Structure 1
Amino acid sequence: MASDADSGRNSTAPTGPVVRNIVLRADVLNRLDGVLRADVFVVCAPAGYGKSLAMAAWLDSRMVEQVAWANLGAVGESASRLWSAVIDGFVRMAGDDGELAAVAVLADRAPAEVPRRLAGWIARRSGPVVLVLDDLHGVTGPEAHEQVQQLVAVSPAGLHIVCITRHDPPWPLHRMRLDVRIDEIRTDLFRFDVASTMALFESLDLSLGPAIATALVDRTQGWAAGIRLAALGAANSDDPEGFVDGITGRTGYIADYLLKEVYQRMPPAWRDLLIRVSVVDVVCPELAEALGAGVDGEATLVQLAREHAFVHELGDQPGWFRLHPLLLDFLRSRIHDQRELLDLHRRAAQWYADQGRPLVALGHAISAHDWDAAATLVGRHAVTWTVCRNPFELKRILDGVALDEVLARPGLATGAAAVRAMAGLTAEIEGFAVAARSRLDTCGSARPRLELLLDLIDIGYRRWTGDVDGMLAGCRRVNTDPAALAGSGLTDWPVIGVLVTSNTGSSELWTGEIEPARSHLIEAATATAGPPIMLPVLNARAHLAYLQWRSGELTSADDRAREAIAGFAEAGIPAAAHAASAYLALVGVSLDRDDLDAADAWVQAAAASAIEPHTLLVLAMMRVRILLRRGAAYDAASVMRDAVTGTGFDVVPAALRREAEALGSVVAAYVDSGSGRRGHVDAPALPDRPTTRELVEHSLAVASNPAVDQQIRTELIDRALAAAAAEDLRRPFLERAEQIRDLLAGRIERGSPQADFALGLLRRMPSEGRRTADDGRFVPLSAREMEILHHLVGSMTISEIAGALYISVNTVKTHQRAVYQKLGVSGRREAVTRARSLRLL
């Protein structure tokens, strides 16, 4: 809740801040209730966090009557000035008092006597007395602090001392926490959150959306003064949200506050250190020394953190410090000498490179315009930065470099090409690669390393442009001998072998070399070289999932695809082009299990990542199969026609083109039949070691042929059911529903180990609304009635049917009567005969 009322305590503490236009936060006020339960209450936070305002607001809201407010910001070393300020506060609280006047004399002549005399005066007052020592950090004299501690030691029960300070006073707080009733609140409690930030703006009649408020809280880290100053600036702006969105440490109000309240109050040595370390995001003493801050950097950083001067030590990295982002931005604006700035970045780049932090070193080398150092770093670490992690991170860094500088240096040009090759950004790969190759003569000992990288880039380029045969040939030319790779000078060189193996398996999959593909993809998918999440491993898992789907291993394909997709999401690239095969595998699994809604959803995900001509063709074929299953044969024909006449069809591997042409023939058969039925298709030859899909499809193709002996057809149906049931592989049966429905019904009637799976298939086969032999019509059966009808085929009793369907016997009888009525029959056997004549079974 916001308040714009004055303090109301002018007669008791006029030197306290006036409470106006602040957000009265319940969590802060409730925590300050501890003041009246403690002897000493420490309120410690950096400048501008609203410590004094919060205390004044609490005193107002709790209507504390006896308050002495002493402003100590200008006391310095003098104990006399300290006690004069305190006594003035008590005079404003209690009015003129002879005893206080006598104590005031002691403040000048014998300040050490004041604590005892003042405690005696307070003890004679009734009710609680709150003494607020505001800006206690302004007291620098050891004797003054010792005398305040004496007051604490002799204070009467009714006295509650509040210390408002930017840093801990030099008191033995660790002992006082044991010996004295002491309580304390610190910076975190005073940080504004999104809700309180929006409430502050509302109190000023300003509207601030949640997204802008969140960004402001993040940028200011909840710093109260920064948020209030942003609000003041917004109130005077024609575009308040735009003003807030652009807040930095250089913004007028904020820069002025940081200059006067923080920067100018620091000793010159502190300012120099902060200016130097402002070129880095985090700093340790060794880095500060490398940046020219001197050997006392550690002591200064520790002191800055201790005094809450907008510097804090990282909790998970002891010895490392971070500056507040607004102060960091302000300090960077104070470096006006460009040569000094470049030198600081050069020093930082060298230090990070020496410490084995090359990516951070690269950023500073680029900021230092040290292009040769940057090119060397990229050339050595390109595999790490593009293969072992999200390549877009390096792309972001290199995109900040002028194009001429990149093209002029083979190391940078190679890195730019590698980023695009791993990310699937085909448009610019060739230009960067050509520029790098044209200057290899200038690279000296780095040339073999860059040549290897350019060969790998060429493999990626061929992949994305659909030249799978060229991709496979390129993989087979790369020397993956560990000794050769180790001598390349590349970091994470073992990953290159995984990269080549993964791409070899991917190529073989699309060219139809299934068994070699399986072997290579398994090897790459289970590789342990390098970090746990790297693109070649994820690529192999995605392609292996697609291969397993093609083979009818639906459970394994589903698991592997989801594993790959989770890995891409963890790497920050859920829609990576490498992930397309995993999404396509899940489309196929959903389609095979007749979950068309899930298939549609996975199609959308695949469409967001597929860019290769072969994956785009497979995506089109998946859409065709879904449309056929939905009975939209003409729409399927349109999609198929666009796929085979598109510009990418001629470049896909021959094996995939043949598959597309075969599917086109199936679509044509559906269209020509005029009823959406698939005619008989001759069975393909069965390989010596058939996959689950090959075994099921071959068995069903033969069983669908009415010229084959009935006993053989029945045995083949049994074989197909046995192979398909474990994987829930339904689509091959559903595509031949017209030819095998009666065979399935017969197997259910006579009993089958896969009766439940077969019954589920029958339920999914179109049956409602068919014509009778005399072209009459019947009333369609409901889904539940169809379920009852299928159970009536066998020898199950009414009670057994009720138990199987988890419904009551009476419910079964009700549905049974409805079935008889709609079929125009009077008994069970007659119902089955009639249903078969209607091709419901």
Structure 2
Amino acid sequence: MRLSQPNVSGRLVDRPRLLDELAAGLSPPGGSFVVLSAPAGHGKTVLLGQWMSVALAAGRAVGWCSLDRDDRDPSVFWESVLTAVEMAAPASVSSGQLVLPAPPPAGGFEPKDHRRFLLDIQAALEELGDGAAVILDDTHLLAGSPAEDEFRELLELCPANAHLAFATRTSLPDQRARLVRRVHEIDAKSLLFTRSETAELFDGFAVAECVIDELFRSSEGWPAVLGLALPEVALPQGAIPTDVPAASARELLDPDVLYEYFQREIFDQVDPQDQPTLFAFAICPVLSADLADAILQQESSAISLRRLARNNPMLRRTSTDSNGRSWYRVNPLYAEFLREKLISSQPGLLRRGGAIAVAWHLEWGDPRAALRLAAELAEPELLHSVMRRVGCELIADGHSSDLLALAATHGSALLAGVFSPLIVALAAVSEGKVERAEETMANAKPRGLQDEDALEWDWLKYVVAVRIALAHNERVTAVSSGWPDETISALPAPLRTAVHLTRGLAQTRVGEVSGAREELEASRATAESRGDLSSEVMSMVGLAATALGRTDLRQTLAYAERAVALAEDTESQDLSLALAAANILIAWGRFEMLDVAAAQANAELAQQFAAQQPLEELALQARHVYQWVTFDTLPDRRRVAQEFTGAWPPNYALQAAPSLVVPSLHAGLSMARALGEPRWTERLLERSRVVLGDGYDWQVASALVHYSMGRQSSARGILSPLLESSHRPRTPSSEIIAWSLDSVLEFESGNSFRAHEAMIRALAGAGDTGAFAEVLRSEPSVVRTVLARGLDRFGDHIPVAEQLIASGMSRPDSGLGHLTPKERELLAELKSLRTVAEISSDMLLSVNTVKTHMRGIYRKLNVSSRRRAVSEAERRGLL
């Protein structure tokens, strides 16, 4: 035993979070136990020594005892404890007041004498008072010895005032302490260094931040390894560290010293029956029991892994998967140590077990792990086979960045395969790294392929070429695989899905709606049948975009919301790209259908998900949609409008279908008009002519611009020929705007009948498509007046008209209902000065019936008087 406070040499780091936790657990009044439970190398002794120094400096009495193997003898153990208790006696009780029993003789006490001895120990501890504390280090050495039972007795007899801290590498019988709720445990996870503590440890040394980061990641904050990494410079207490430059963490870690520590302090402490299981981690740093059984050809891994995770500092249980498997992982540095041992002792197991692990992961586990293991085995044939099998699947699941990282680490070996360059190129373009994709694709050569392999290679090259063309906003009609379409059915399922999805997205972009729907439905069906959730979600997003392309807002929302619902079913795949695109579509669809608050929420989500992707075009589109649907509330509207209109058209609008370009154009026109900037509208109109041509869609936008500038006659001159023609190509949005603008022009010229007829046409288009907001593009206040005055004559379109009227109110009108024809007739009479009796006489109604209608009007307008009803009706455009 050692009865003095340890003299901890070397460089110390203040760890206030742990010292505060110790202080809280050992603070009077009231006693408690603090257990530091962690394997070797976690700094338990150092931390207790630091706390003891602080406590002694504050005048507190603390006793210390470091146990050794001699303390497995109960008589030696109690002698150590009694000496530590005597050290912990405060000055007020040290002068003869503290009576300690004699330690037991070598042969032990008789039962009666043993009981008396324990009671005397308890009395002595009570005499210590609340301030004293006793520290026992290395209590794990008692495990399995007679002294372990004595230690349990000590825990049970400790009085309510006693403060006891002990450090152990294993779990000792402290159930009694737990039952009385007096124990506070600091475990191995808490004792690990944080990133900031690691930086403090190397403060003053010429060690780059990136090296500290690498060392922190590889050591996972394990104090022993970080201590071994300190430059070998003798540092007296308080000395200034010597500059020791290092290019990497490996230069700071002497492998011989590190491996000797692993061997002596970790590996040799493992039960021999569990050592073979450790070697499985040399092959797979992350293991489940059945994977370990497969690698080692045994059936006992589950029990062994549980023991190892409980007692080994380099190993811990991390998770349980959906199949109920428990997964364990080993420290990366310790995995290297195990790998070296395995190479020297069983080189055949490393290669054989690696191949088994690859096959297991392909069948039951993680394709990324299969590919990584195949790359580490450095067997070209196996690596290329795995790459071909899982490459497209990994990209579809959102793991392109992982694949690119693997290619950077194992570049020459991985890219040597015939299919590998194309797969890496596909991953690169999926991450927005188009130049890298083009460079990698240029090195792809179909060397020595048979017909079946050539078919797959050519279609994969086609997918990459189309994705690159889409990234460049180019048309892809000239891109071909060289094979008939019917050969797609012979492709592997992941590639078949990718072909259909890519073709569908390309056709959606240029407005080939029917072809796009067919391809995307094929992609969705294939993905669903094979459980490819990522491709299924992206196919649904593509279908939503197709629906938007034909201006079917309800179907757009249905597909996009279904995509979001599917994406929420998984946490294992990165679906941020699909979720960003889906929320962009939902935001615009809800905005068009006048659900502005929901649209703004989805626009915010779109920006959040887009920020998780490296695709600048996606981020730009998400930002623009957010600006469109929140424009009226933005504090910097002028800057936003100037930026948008000045840079229009954005890249994503180039080569896109007119039905996707027109909403973007009108969003910009609305911004410029709201700020009274005719120059911006003229510039937009000029640029849109290049993108759209000078057909129906551009002519409608031109008429709207002329109207906004007060040139009603010019607007009429442009609009009239368009309305009379039925042969020009047009988007539904433009047609709705045209009829709405015609209605406004007719109303302002005094022709209410023709204004009403034109508005019916606009409402019909809005009802068919869900593009309600387009009805309000011309002049919202006039539109609402036309709608309000003819509300009861819109027939099936009354609900749409009511929603358009309500969209201009300062408070929600849901649940109020629309006014009946009699109520609308009565509302017009309320503006007059006539009495209720006079009104009832003219309307051929009883006074009570008129009063009933008046109460209905008040309720629906949310008012309480005739005067307020008239005022509210005028504000809403009902009068």
Same topology, TM > 0.5: yes
What is residue 280 of structure 1 aligned with on the other side?
284
- Deviates most, 726-735 or 49-58: 49-58
2:457 to 432, 450, 470: 450
Alignment equivalent of 1:731, drawn from 769, 774, 782? 774
User: Matches of 1:97 and 1:75 in 2, distance apart?
Assistant: 30
Which residue of 1 is the match for residue 38 of structure 2? 45
Code of the residue aligned with 1:531 in structure 2: it is: G
Partner of 1:135: 138
C-alpha contact 2:541 2:563 (8 A) present in aligned 1? yes
CA gap of 1:607–1:155, structure 2 versus 1, over 3 A, is: closer
In 2, distance between residues paired with 1:815 and 1:421? 60
Matched residue of 1:438: which SS?
Answer: coil
Matched AA of 1:47: A
What CA distance in whole angstroms lies between the structure 2 residues aligned with 1:223 and 1:497?
47
Note the alpha carbon deviations across 1:726-774, whole angstroms, 9 max, x for none: 946132443377997885565259898356446458899xxxxxxxxxx
Task: State the shift of 1:263 in Å.
Answer: 4.6
- Asked if 1:378 is matched to 2:380, the reply is no
Are 2:397 and 2:534, in contact at CA under 8 Å, matched by a contact in 1?
yes
CA 1:252–1:811 in 2, change beyond 3 Å: closer, same or farther? farther
- The aligned residue for residue 554 of structure 1 is 553
Identify the match of residue 168 of structure 2 among 146, 152, 165. 165
Which whole-Å CA distance do the structure 1 matches of 2:697 and 2:153 have between them?
Answer: 94
**Structure 1's 365 and 474: CA in aligned 2 closer, same or farther, altered over 3 A?**
same
Distance change (3 Å), C-alpha of 1:581 and 1:149:
closer
Separation (CA, whole Å) in 1 of partners of 2:87 and 2:745: 108
| Cα distance in 2 between the residues matched to 1:184 and 1:530 | 50
Kept in 2, the 8 Å contact 1:52–1:134? The answer is: yes
Tell me if structure 2 keeps the 8 A contact 1:551–1:694. no
Cα distance in 2, alignment partners of residues 581 and 615 from structure 1: 18
Residue 89 of structure 1 aligns with which residue? 84
Relative distance call for 1:160 and 1:182 in structure 2 (3 A) is: same
Q: Is 1:360 the counterpart of 2:369 in the alignment?
A: yes
Q: Determine if the alignment matches structure 1 residue 715 to structure 2 residue 705.
A: no
The separation in 2 between residues aligned to 1:294 and 1:691, in whole angstroms, is 68
Change (3 A) 1:266 1:540: closer
Q: How far did 1:375 drift?
A: 0.9
* Distance of aligned partners of 1:588 and 1:398 in 2 relative to their CA distance in 1, 3 Å threshold: same
Give the Cα–Cα distance (whole angstroms) in 1 for the partners of residues 144 and 515 of structure 2. 81
Contact kept? 2:398, 2:575, Cα under 8 Å: no
Q: CA separation in 2, counterparts of 1:205 and 1:434?
A: 48
For residues 510 and 91 of structure 1, what CA distance do their matches in structure 2 show? 84
Q: Secondary structure at 2:167's aligned position in 1?
A: strand
* CA shift in 2, pair 1:562/1:642, >3 Å: farther
1:305 to 300, 303, 309: 309
Do the aligned partners of 2:156 and 2:177 also contact (CA within 8 Å) in 1? Answer: no
Contact 1:84/1:104 (8 A) holds in 2: yes
Deviations 1:380-406 (A, max 9, x none): 22332222444333233223333x545
- Counterpart for residue 666 of structure 2: 625
Distance 1:509 1:42, change over 3 A: closer
- Compute the displacement of 1:538 (Å): 3.5
**Which shows bigger deviation, 470-479 or 56-65?**
56-65
Change (3 A) 1:608 1:147: same
Which of 680, 697, 701 aligns to 1:635? It is 680
Give the match for residue 614 of structure 1: 655
Structure 2 SS opposite 1:283: strand
Sort the Cα spacing of 1:37 and 1:157 in 2 relative to 1 into closer, same or farther, 3 A. closer
| Distance in 1, Cα, partners of 2:156 & 2:869 | 91
1:376 deviates by: 0.8
Residue of structure 2 in register with 1:652 after alignment: none
**Letter of the structure 2 residue corresponding to residue 305 of structure 1:** A
Q: How does 1:630-779 map to 2 (within 5 A)?
A: 630-631=672-673, 632-639=677-684, 641=686, 662-669=696-703, 675=709, 678-679=715-716, 680-681=718-719, 682-683=722-723, 696=736, 700=740, 711=753, 714-721=756-763, 724=766, 727=770, 729-735=772-778, 744=787, 746-747=789-790, 753=798, 756-757=802-803, 759=805
SS of residue in 2 equivalent to 1:125: helix
1:392 pairs with 2:422: no
SS of corresponding position for 1:467: coil
Q: Quick one: structure 1 residues 668 and 518, their matched pair in 2 at CA, closer, same or farther if it must change by over 3 Å?
A: same
Letter aligned with residue 401 of structure 2: F
Amino acid at match of 1:352: V
Check if 1:572 corresponds to 2:574.
yes
Q: Does the 8 Å CA contact 1:703/1:716 hold for their aligned counterparts? A: yes
SS at match of 2:723: coil
RMSD: 6.3
Give the TM-score taking structure 2 as reference length. Answer: 0.65
Alignment of 1:86-235 (within 5 A): 86-90=81-85, 92=87, 103=102, 106-107=105-106, 118-119=117-118, 121-123=120-122, 125=124, 127=126, 132-139=135-142, 142-149=145-152, 163-169=166-172, 183=183, 185-187=185-187, 190-191=190-191
Letter in 1 for 2:360: D
Contact kept? 1:606, 1:619, Cα under 8 Å: no
Shift of 1:454: 3.2
After superposition, what is the alpha-carbon deviation per residue over 1:647-674, rounded to whole angstroms, capped at 9, x for unaligned?
xx7xxxxxxx55x755444455566679
Counterpart residue number, 2:268: 267
The residue type paired with residue 39 of structure 2 is P
SS of residue paired to 1:638: helix
* Aligned 8 A contact 2:743 2:758 in 1: yes
Counterpart amino acid of residue 679 in structure 2? Y
Aligned to 1:351: 357
Counterparts of 1:74 and 1:238 in 2: how far apart (Å)? 39
Aligned residue type for 1:453:
L
**Does the Cα contact within 8 Å between 2:45 and 2:167 map onto a contact in 1?**
yes
TM normalised by structure 1 equals: 0.67
Q: Which amino acid aligns with 1:277?
A: F
CA distance in 2, matches of 1:255, 1:803: 86
CA distance in 1, matches of 2:4, 2:178: 34
How many equivalent residue pairs? Answer: 750
Q: Is the 8 A contact 2:737 2:777 kept in 1?
A: no
Specify every segment of 5 or more residues in structure 1 that has no aligned partner in the other structure, as ranges. 1-11, 650-656, 765-789, 820-827
1:771 paired residue number = none
SS of residue matched to 1:534: helix
What's 2:5 paired with?
A: 15
Q: Which amino acid aligns with 2:5?
A: T
SS in 2 for 1:164: strand
Shift of 1:446: 4.6
Aligned to 1:583: 584
Q: Partner amino acid for 1:310?
A: M
Q: 1:408 aligns with which of 416, 421, 435?
A: 416
Q: Secondary structure at the match of 2:772?
A: coil
Q: CA deviation at 1:560?
A: 3.7
Note closer, same or farther for the CA distance 1:633–1:59 as it changes in structure 2 (3 Å cut): same
2: distance between equivalents of 1:392 and 1:676? 54
